[in-house]
Structure 1
């Protein structure tokens, strides 16, 4: 994350974690002097919920800001048994993501969204 601000949190994969993760990201953006975008809470909650379904005991949420955009990534830390739900990417786009994606890696499932901080 060279040349950009970033932060991350490792969280237990519990039902209340999506809201807690959204609050962490909003607080960090505010501390950086950025106004959290309107879809932030819904997008972060959705990202976290998507990786919690992999069955891991913990997940992590990563956030970085650069050029008036915020990238939020949720990571399951467990290799998933199934493909990501077909509705994940369309839902993220409909929620206001400028760009979004998902990838399975040896670190687990990654689901991310890029939000514009100027709108």
Structure 2
């Protein structure tokens, strides 16, 4: 993933049961370092859900990406498991209900991507 003209961070995580809580900490800590304290619950909950979904895809690793621009954050997760459906009928409405401004999913050669944008 290439991100230009904005701050960004990324982490490689083992696809394991503890990965969602680790993703929450990474995202919240990074947003704090960028000066955003008020989105802790929304950002943390969305990061956990996206990573949990990627872990359930059954790959060996998960990539977590975070970027900010214009008081919005992008959280994107890649499952690194190919051959999956783009998404099920429940994940995106659940992400939206957690407070995402927009969200989506797609698949590529490197696996399924899930992403959400939230206001900071």
1:95 to partner: Cα distance: 0.6
| Structure 2 gaps, min length 5 | none
Q: Distance in 2 between matches of 1:109 and 1:43?
A: 16
- TM-score by structure 2 length? 0.92
Distance 1:102 1:20 in 2: 22
Match of 1:32 in 2: 34
- Does residue 54 of structure 1 match 2:57? yes
In structure 2, the partner of 1:93 is 96
**Count of aligned pairs between the two proteins:** 117
Q: Who is 1:77 aligned against?
A: 80
The 2-side partners of 1:31 and 1:6 are apart by 12
Give unpaired runs (5+ residues) of structure 1.
Answer: none
SS of residue paired to 2:5: coil
How far apart are the structure 1 equivalents of 2:46 and 2:38? 12
C-alpha root-mean-square deviation of aligned residues, in Å?
1.1
Q: After the TM superposition, which segments of 4 or more aligned residues of structure 1 sit over 2 Å from their partners?
A: 80-83
- What SS does the aligned partner of 2:20 have? helix
- Whether the 8 Å CA contact 1:26–1:36 is kept in 2: the answer is no
Aligned-pair CA distance for 1:36: 4.6
